[in-house]
């Protein structure tokens, strides 16, 4: 339809219908013209279509969608959901590499429901572990677990996950006289090396108890001196997962700059009481600074966050145990108290180190597992694990059964390696 300008009449007589029609057309035109901007403004707030000035190529659109999905999918926050087909990868009968301490089914655990849950991140799915893909990623590379026995627990899980494709050769005795703590495996077909670097405090330590070493004896910690057990080897590895935790709750005397500065639970006269988070913070600070200072260390460093214990009805040495048979929901159990303190201490030190590491071309990443594992009181051996170094009258509510929820850590590791995802 073509609209014409309306002129004022120049004669005395004008047809009434013609005038009425022209006025009506004018009114409709004004209504349409004033409605269009309102409709566009309203639509622009909800429309999924790009604006006229936005590039609309297929590639750009897909990249934007993928970036949005990546931002929304935080794999470290979620809940455990039933997985009736579990265990997903192996059993204590199909994997021959489970150590007695974590072989809960072999040593009589009566329930099996703890193996039938999977971690479900908020807003996305965590892919199942692909052993062949993992081995290809690590072809010609090396991976070290630096820290305590919970770090080794993750390595034992990884050994079983990879056993679906191949078994490694155990060369531990060629690298250490203490093969209970220092393990060294080689996957010959992939030229892939995996090892543990035993350093439960990360920094140098020594016995301080005159009655000798025991499970709860007094120890000296030299907070500004890294443990030579790992500094002498770490430069040989392409990937390093750093972790530590429960050992920092025992009686400790802290040293810095060659002198004692205080202690934690030491009950010594004239000694300042210092909380465990102080030593924990300084130990991680020393690790990160040392890794940055080593001339030949070019590896990717992961901080695997604090792994909670779940002792109930008493401490580990006072009748505490962990007999639950299903997970908590995140509505039932919140990250708070000393567990939150330990977690935040690690994260703060890593964040501070990341900026410095980036300037030196090093990659420091955060692997958050604390929230997920806080919800798994059912995943520990409790009394159903055997260890030559453990009094079986004590429950083990620190380590994790295999198979069990700790397998999720390696699902997360593979996902982070594939996507380059970092925690926020």
Judged against a pLDDT cut of 50, whether residue 35 lies above it is answered with no
pLDDT of residue 229: 95
Instruction: Work out whether strand 169-170 and strand 252-256 pair parallel, antiparallel, or are unpaired.
Output: unpaired
Q: How confident is the model at residue 83 (pLDDT cuts 50, 70, 90)?
A: very high
Query: b/e string for 64-95 if b means 16 or more Cβ within 10 A?
Result: eeeeeeeeebbbbebbbeeeeebbbbbebeeb
Cβ contact 195:175 at 8 Å:
yes
| Rounded distance between C-alpha atoms, residue 132 and residue 138, angstroms | 10
Kindly tell me the number of DSSP H helices and DSSP E strands found in the chain: 9, 13
173 is catalytic: no
| Rama region for 62: left / alpha / beta (φ>0; ψ in -120 to 50; rest) | alpha
Judged against a pLDDT cut of 80, whether residue 65 lies above it is answered with no
Higher pLDDT pick, 26 / 177:
177
As a whole number, the mean pLDDT across the chain is 86
Judged against a pLDDT cut of 90, whether residue 2 lies above it is answered with no
| Rounded distance between C-alpha atoms, residue 244 and residue 336, angstroms | 19
Active-site residue, selected from the candidate residues 184, 264, 380, 399 = 399
Helices (H), 323-376: 337-359, 370-374
Among candidates 219, 237, 213, which has minimal Cα distance to 300? 237
184 is catalytic: no
Torsions phi, psi for 136 (to 5 deg):
-70, -40
Mean pLDDT of 57-73: 42
**Chain segment 286-342, per-residue pLDDT in tens:** 999 999 999 999 999 999 999 999 999 999 999 999 999 999 999 999 999 999 999
Judged against a pLDDT cut of 90, whether residue 116 lies above it is answered with yes
**Chain segment 185-213, per-residue pLDDT in tens:** 999 999 999 999 999 999 999 999 888 88
Judged against a pLDDT cut of 60, whether residue 414 lies above it is answered with yes
pLDDT of residue 423: 56
Cis check for the bond before 403: say yes or no (omega within 30 of 0).
yes
3-state secondary structure (DSSP) of residue 302: strand
Torsions phi, psi for 242 (to 5 deg):
-100, 135
Judged against a pLDDT cut of 70, whether residue 152 lies above it is answered with yes
Judged against a pLDDT cut of 70, whether residue 36 lies above it is answered with no
**Chain segment 332-379, per-residue pLDDT in tens:** 999 999 999 999 999 999 999 999 999 999 999 999 999 999 999 999
The share of the chain scoring above pLDDT 90, in percent, equals: 76
213 is catalytic: no
Judged against a pLDDT cut of 70, whether residue 52 lies above it is answered with no
Structure tokens, 419: 């996507």
Q: Considering the entire predicted model, what is its pTM?
A: 0.82
Higher pLDDT pick, 214 / 33:
214
| Rounded distance between C-alpha atoms, residue 410 and residue 336, angstroms | 25
pLDDT of residue 54: 33
Cβ contact 359:328 at 8 Å:
no
Active-site residue, selected from the candidate residues 148, 227, 378, 396 = 396
Judged against a pLDDT cut of 90, whether residue 10 lies above it is answered with no
Among candidates 206, 279, 195, 257, which has minimal Cα distance to 230? 195
| Rounded distance between C-alpha atoms, residue 118 and residue 329, angstroms | 13
Mean pLDDT of 399-409: 98
Mean pLDDT of 42-49: 33
Q: How confident is the model at residue 7 (pLDDT cuts 50, 70, 90)?
A: very low
3-state secondary structure (DSSP) of residue 383: coil
Cβ contact 377:328 at 8 Å:
yes
Mean pLDDT of 48-65: 33
Element (H, E) at 285: helix 276-293
Q: Longest Cα pair distance anywhere in the chain, in angstroms?
A: 124
Judged against a pLDDT cut of 90, whether residue 216 lies above it is answered with no
pLDDT of residue 71: 54
Active-site residue, selected from the candidate residues 148, 149, 176, 184 = 149
pLDDT of residue 213: 86
**Chain segment 242-285, per-residue pLDDT in tens:** 999 999 999 999 999 999 999 999 989 999 999 999 999 999 99
Element (H, E) at 265: none
pLDDT of residue 341: 98
């Amino acid at each position: 339809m073509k609209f014409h300008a309306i002129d004022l009449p120049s004669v005395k007589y004008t047809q009434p219908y013609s005038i009425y029609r022209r006025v009506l057309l004018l009114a409709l035109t004004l209504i349409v013209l004033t409605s269009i901007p309102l409709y566009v403004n309203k639509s622009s707030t909800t429309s999924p279509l790009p604006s006229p000035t936005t590039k609309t190529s297929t590639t750009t659109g897909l990249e934007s969608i993928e970036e949005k999905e990546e931002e929304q999918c935080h794999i470290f926050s979620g809940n455990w959901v039933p997985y009736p087909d579990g265990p997903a990868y192996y059993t204590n009968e199909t994997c021959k590499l489970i150590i007695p301490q974590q072989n809960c089914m072999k040593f009589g655990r009566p329930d099996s429901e703890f193996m039938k849950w999977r971690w479900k991140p908020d807003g996305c799915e965590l892919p199942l572990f692909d052993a062949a893909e993992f081995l290809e990623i690590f072809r010609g590379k090396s991976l070290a677990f630096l820290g305590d026995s919970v770090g080794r627990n993750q390595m034992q899980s990884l050994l079983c996950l990879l056993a679906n494709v191949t078994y490694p050769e155990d060369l531990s005795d060629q690298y250490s006289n203490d093969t209970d703590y220092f393990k060294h495996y080689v996957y010959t077909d992939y030229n892939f090396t995996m090892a543990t670097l035993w350093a439960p405090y990360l920094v140098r330590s020594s016995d301080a108890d005159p009655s000798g070493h025991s499970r709860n004896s007094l120890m000296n910690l030299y907070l500004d001196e890294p443990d030579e057990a790992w500094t002498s080897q770490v430069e040989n590895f392409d990937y390093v997962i750093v972790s530590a935790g429960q050992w920092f709750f025992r009686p400790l005397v802290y040293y810095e700059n060659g002198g004692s500065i205080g202690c934690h639970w030491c009950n010594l006269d004239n000694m300042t009481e210092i909380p465990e988070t102080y030593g924990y913070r300084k130990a991680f600070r020393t690790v990160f600074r040392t890794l940055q200072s080593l001339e030949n260390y070019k590896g990717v460093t992961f901080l695997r966050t604090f792994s909670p214990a779940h002792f109930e009805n008493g401490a580990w040495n006072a009748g505490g145990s962990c007999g639950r048979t299903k997970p908590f929901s995140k509505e039932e159990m919140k990250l708070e108290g000393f567990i939150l303190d330990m977690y935040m201490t690690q994260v703060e030190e890593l964040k501070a180190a990341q900026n410095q590491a980036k300037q030196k071309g090093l990659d420091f990443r955060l692997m958050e597992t604390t929230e997920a594992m806080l919800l798994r009181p059912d995943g520990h051996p409790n009394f159903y694990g055997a260890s030559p170094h453990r009094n079986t009258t004590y429950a083990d509510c620190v380590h994790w059964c295999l198979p069990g929820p700790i397998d999720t850590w390696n699902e997360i590791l593979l996902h982070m390696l594939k996507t380059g995802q970092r925690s926020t």
